[in-house]
């Protein structure tokens, strides 16, 4: 099954992006054949910023995105949203890619399920 998970909130300050990635991990764990795409929009593009350092015992969104990639998922970041926040392609964690609304439209059309956080 193809899952598209859209994240809109910043990496820290709310738990919506954290919970969306928890769902991505649960889907990958419960269905190893699942195809998971995480699309980051608005402040959620900052979830893919490389080099995040969080206190011990606190979740780290960059690490959580890497787990999605390890499970053969895709992590796409809205290019327009990145530009608005001064985030460059080289600022993204390895494996995350700049994307477009057209690519989001294609992923939406291909998805069996779409979840928005």
Q: What is the DSSP string of 17-82?
A: HHHHHHHHHHHHHH-TT-EEEEEE-GGGGGGGBTT----TTS--HHHHHHHHHHTT-EEEEEHHHH
Taking only the tens place, the pLDDT of each residue in 63-80 is: 999 999 999 999 999 999
What is the tally of structural domains in the chain?
A: 1
Write the CATH number for 77.
Answer: 3.40.1260.10
Taking only the tens place, the pLDDT of each residue in 73-113 is: 999 999 999 999 999 999 999 999 999 999 999 999 999 99
User: What pTM was computed for the model?
Assistant: 0.96
Q: What is the mean pLDDT of the chain?
A: 97
> Which residue segment(s) compose the domain that 29 sits in?
2-116
């Amino acid at each position: 099954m193809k899952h598209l998970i859209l994240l809109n909130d910043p990496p820290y300050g709310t738990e919506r992006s954290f919970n969306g990635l928890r769902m991505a991990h649960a889907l990958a764990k419960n269905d190893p054949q699942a195809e998971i795409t995480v699309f980051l929009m608005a402040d959620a593009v900052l979830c893919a910023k490389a080099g995040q350092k969080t206190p011990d015992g606190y979740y780290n969104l960059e690490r959580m995105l890497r787990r999605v990639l390890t499970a053969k998922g895709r992590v796409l970041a809205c290019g327009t949203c990145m530009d608005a926040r001064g985030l460059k392609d080289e600022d993204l964690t390895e494996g995350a890619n700049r994307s477009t609304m057209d690519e989001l439209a294609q992923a939406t059309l291909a998805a069996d399920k779409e979840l928005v956080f």
